[in-house]
Structure 1
């Protein structure tokens, strides 16, 4: 019977964060809301963790099609060649799915899920007899021009990337994939604007990620001797930790008494780890900024609960899963008023910062920190609004309900076509 949903999740693993975490949770939701069997298309490294994590009833309804290109099965998701590998994997995936469909003739719906950048919709929309759901797709965001100091020599690459993104709506490949998609889930307004105009009627805005639920209630906020800032992310230019470091240095120069009360915890690692240590020392913040490196998630949650304010400085982000985790933990946040953070915080949970230059961004982050240090009632209001935001807009169950709606729409459309053919 032709009733299967295939989810293409290049990354899908319950034991990992980031993209694998997103793929795993979309798979769970699709298994929950779909009536028929589900096919997971993924890499070999994810097959065993997925099977072991599923309950027996879900495992019985899941068929996993896992493959890697020769010699690439062990390639980690942060490998420098992962992006070109993903492109070749997608080409191979078309033939793998075509063979599967020829053998079973069971696929009705295909969803292209993880690693969903707007310039790479894959090729599964070519599989005959199926309806294609593209997304949630992101990657349409570009860093503001004032972010140039954060990228150094990498800024030239960003200029080329910006040009490519802004011409996507004229790209025949993107136009054809958009035309063949029955629905397009877009993670933010920036990505929506990169798609061809005719595709906008098919677009539904929804973040690619979510959280399982709130983990705390806002505690009573009272002025304290110390005020802890938390920053979580990958240490790389686009995450822009330097913005926070420069803001703290400015507070140190302008408000030394407030600076003495500050405690800054930085969680994460990445290609700029060593450079970050040098910058912290150069700014005279070695005794103030605590670089924690990478930690297991079980050790991260107490950091959210023990901090007073979450600082999200990214200048190029589809959404920001750590921002959702912060709000779900009852921790208010400040972030730049653009891209993913705007999609999240416009519904409550913190303050969005506008800036038109690098120096202005530093100044505004410093100002926000200083104002909130002595505003316990405002912090509590932000925290409460953040918890309500999560409950209303950012739970995985809501992604499942959205997918159920799309499946129902697909079913009604199929019945309509069948009735038309019989007539």
Structure 2
């Protein structure tokens, strides 16, 4: 975990507020009863926040299980010292089975061929391969068809090398809890679980609620909820915002690496999509670009914070850098002081009373906050405060 106030090699970084992460985790823990469990989803490097560091904080705040998207993500968690159960939210190729067993990672299972291979290898090693059965209740991405759940168990349960630790589904429209589609998925899943039990099969840990479902549909909590984006203080939809207030965990900051005063009419950046409209306009360079997760589509459309005020980004965003303008622009006057090399600016987060959110940038990109959080976390160093 990086504990310096800033990285030593580059004047740009992602800042992770550990106290906020702890509070958000406890907020989700408060939604469930004492016998129910909290599964914290830390896939995609904890949505760009750093899986190993976040998992330690979440564990201390009440996490009972972690979920990842790839085998390598699970193995990295184990290597970082995580002891809690780890669920793989997909069924990997059979060539990954040894790594699953070596790292005690439970795969999602929905094809008998994988289940048989998994059980055979586990038995050969004197182990029992735990898994969670994925049920397709209508999202049509992965899973055993909801009507075939008991038959699937019949086809694999004979194997002494297998143990069903849980059964789950994933909701496509949990942000609309009263909608017909969501209600249909709830009905199908509940009936599938009831049918499993009626046929004599133990479904293990039953879970289906993702972040919006956990907040908006407590009737479907069953044995465990799977909290994802909400742990990081990002709302999955507007409806959840008033029900469970959360605090953003991630900020993105940078220091000015260069300043200049181009002549009126000169262009800035590739393609000269911005030209200096008057004399005495300061152009400042910041060391963040689209390779760091700042989408190029935001060129000339976003702002950053400097001394608690908004200033305009100008020119095309480059792979590793972008520019901002201080002074009167074609957009509006910005009454702030001129910057110097080393001055701090905020791309995402709060500065004084002003704030720029991932939601704001995502709306301008026509995407969701999840995507931007993952992008910023890929190359920028993470500082935990």
Greater strand share, structure number: 2
Greater helix share, structure number: 1
Looking at CA atoms only, which structure, 1 or 2, has the larger radius of gyration?
2
TM-score (norm 2): 0.34
TM-score (norm 1): 0.32
